[in-house]
């Protein structure tokens, strides 16, 4: 079987050893002669998985047990509503930074639940940059931002010092670089881009934020209920949580976030250097805000797209077509992406230039 270079934006690539371990657990988990898919989520074997997964999140973010870690269903999109539902008081105010589609959706949900202000937006240039020099209102209940913008290929390089609890959607760059979790009141991420398969969302929230809202809450939408139940108020998404744990183990074994940050920067530099050098391509995001996870680029001559498509498909490259809002191409170089795959794409781009420049 020929190797496929998987640049999918999500669900994204996972380490090969994680896939192997996960498949084995589906047949025989922990030598129980039972599948992970059929054991009780309240068994000691799975409780150990949940405990290790939560503790590893805290370890990698460098936080203590003042932060609760949850694994929930509903994707990051459910958190767009749960955050204001739990953190926005009836007479309070929420502040948001708008840097793309997912931030826009989060703002829409917050506006349904209370006063919501947008401190800055990059919509004026189709979200190809990260706004700077904005003011976060000191009377806001929280400030929400999105660390990496999958569709537009931009990334916040330096997080602000917020006068209010900072809430961050890290779905597409979680654990791709060193981040001090203590700067945030809450961090959340859908697992399916950089941490595991689709089906679970990690929420890490400081305990001081829990119970601040004065609204009556549905149990399934209440962080306090999920914290008390240790992510088992209802049956959790068992398999995605386990695969996420395997991925976190893989990351730790190889040197942790410090190791993968260097690898990710090397991959990004390799591809961005080719985009900037190659006469047929150009990048879409402002250089200072370029994402190391989602690298977006276009052809100067769009009529050549069918020819380029033919070449990268022949090279067993998959998943690099750009999102419809940007067009062109998007190479997602998540943690598990080997540099050999990036080199394969660069070689195709160079061959394409020789043929058509």
pLDDT (tens digit per residue) in 229-256: 999 999 999 999 999 999 999 999 999 9
252 is catalytic: no
Q: How far is CA 262 from the centre of its chain?
A: 18
Separation between Cα atoms, residue 282 and residue 301, nearest integer Å = 11
The stretch 151-171 carries a mean pLDDT of 97
Evaluate if residue 7 carries a pLDDT over 90: yes
Evaluate if residue 274 carries a pLDDT over 90: yes
The stretch 307-328 carries a mean pLDDT of 96
The stretch 38-48 carries a mean pLDDT of 94
Sign of CA dihedral 197, 73, 179, 52: negative
Give tens-digit pLDDT for 193-218: 999 999 999 999 999 999 888 889 99
As a whole number of Å, the CA-based R_g of the chain is 21
Sign of CA dihedral 20, 22, 23, 25: positive
Give the domain ranges of the chain: 16-253, 255-356
The stretch 315-329 carries a mean pLDDT of 95
pLDDT of residue 184: 98
124 is catalytic: no
Residues 102, 107, 113, 116, Cα dihedral to 10°: 160
Strand spans (E) along 154-197: 154-155, 166-169, 186-190
Local structure of residue 35 (DSSP, 8 states): -
Antiparallel, parallel or unpaired: β 93-98 and 148-149: unpaired
The single residue of 2, 115, 132, 193 carrying the catalytic annotation is: 193
The stretch 332-339 carries a mean pLDDT of 97
pLDDT of residue 322: 94
Structure tokens at 231: 């992510």
157 is catalytic: no
pLDDT of residue 83: 98
Answer whether the bond into residue 210 is a cis peptide, omega within 30°.
Answer: no
Closest CA to 71 of 251, 290, 223: 223
pLDDT of residue 3: 79
pLDDT of residue 87: 97
The neighbouring-strand residues paired with 329 are: 297, 321
Q: Is the pTM of this model over 0.95?
A: yes
pLDDT of residue 265: 98
pLDDT of residue 1: 61
The single residue of 169, 173, 222, 289 carrying the catalytic annotation is: 169
State the CB neighbour count (10 A cutoff) for residue 240.
22
| Contacts (Cβ under 8 Å, ≥6 apart) of 31 | none
Give tens-digit pLDDT for 88-97: 998 999 999 9
State the CB neighbour count (10 A cutoff) for residue 324.
7
The stretch 130-154 carries a mean pLDDT of 97
Separation between Cα atoms, residue 184 and residue 345, nearest integer Å = 36
Q: Name the band, by pLDDT with cuts 50, 70 and 90, for residue 357.
A: confident
Task: Please give the CATH topology (third level) of the domain spanning 255-356.
Answer: 3.90.1150
The mean predicted confidence, pLDDT, of the chain is 96
Closest CA to 5 of 343, 355, 352: 343
The stretch 30-56 carries a mean pLDDT of 95
The stretch 89-108 carries a mean pLDDT of 97
Task: Please give the CATH topology (third level) of the domain spanning 16-253.
Answer: 3.40.640
The neighbouring-strand residues paired with 168 are: 145, 187
Separation between Cα atoms, residue 218 and residue 210, nearest integer Å = 14
């Amino acid at each position: 079987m020929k190797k496929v270079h998987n640049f999918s934006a999500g669900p994204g690539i996972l380490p090969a050893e994680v896939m192997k371990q996960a498949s084995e657990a589906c047949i025989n988990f922990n030598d129980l002669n039972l599948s992970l898919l059929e054991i009780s989520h309240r068994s000691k074997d799975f409780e150990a998985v949940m405990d290790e997964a939560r503790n590893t999140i805290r370890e990698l973010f460098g936080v203590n047990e003042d932060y609760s870690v949850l694994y929930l269903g509903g994707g990051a999109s459910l958190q767009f509503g749960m955050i204001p539902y739990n953190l926005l008081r009836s007479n309070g105010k929420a502040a948001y930074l708008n840097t793309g589609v997912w931030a826009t959706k989060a703002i829409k949900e917050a506006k349904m639940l209370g006063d919501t202000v947008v401190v800055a937006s990059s919509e004026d240039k189709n979200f190809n940059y990260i706004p700077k020099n904005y003011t976060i209102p000191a009377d806001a209940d929280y400030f929400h931002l999105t660390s990496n913008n999958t569709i537009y290929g931009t990334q916040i390089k330096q997080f602000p010092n917020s006068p209010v609890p900072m809430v961050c959607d890290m779905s597409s760059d979680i654990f791709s670089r060193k981040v001090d979790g203590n700067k945030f009141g809450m961090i959340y991420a859908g697992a399916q881009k950089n941490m595991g398969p689709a089906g679970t969302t990690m929420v890490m929230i400081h305990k001081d934020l829990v119970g601040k809202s004065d609204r009556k809450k549905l149990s399934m939408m209440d962080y306090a209920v999920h914290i008390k139940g240790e992510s088992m108020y209802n049956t959790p998404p068992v398999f995605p949580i386990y695969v996420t744990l395997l991925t976190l183990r893989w990351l730790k074994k190889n040197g942790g976030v410090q190791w993968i940050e260097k690898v990710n920067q090397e991959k990004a530099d390799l591809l961005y250097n080719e985009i900037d050098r190659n006469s047929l391509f150009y990048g879409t995001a402002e250089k200072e805000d370029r994402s190391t996870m989602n690298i977006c680029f276009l052809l100067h001559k769009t009529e050549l797209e069918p020819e380029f498509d033919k070449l990268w498909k022949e090279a067993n490259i998959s998943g690099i077509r750009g999102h419809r809002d940007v067009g062109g191409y998007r190479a997602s170089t998540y943690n598990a992406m080997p540099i050999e795959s990036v080199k394969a794409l660069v070689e195709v781009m160079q061959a394409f230039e020789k043929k058509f420049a």
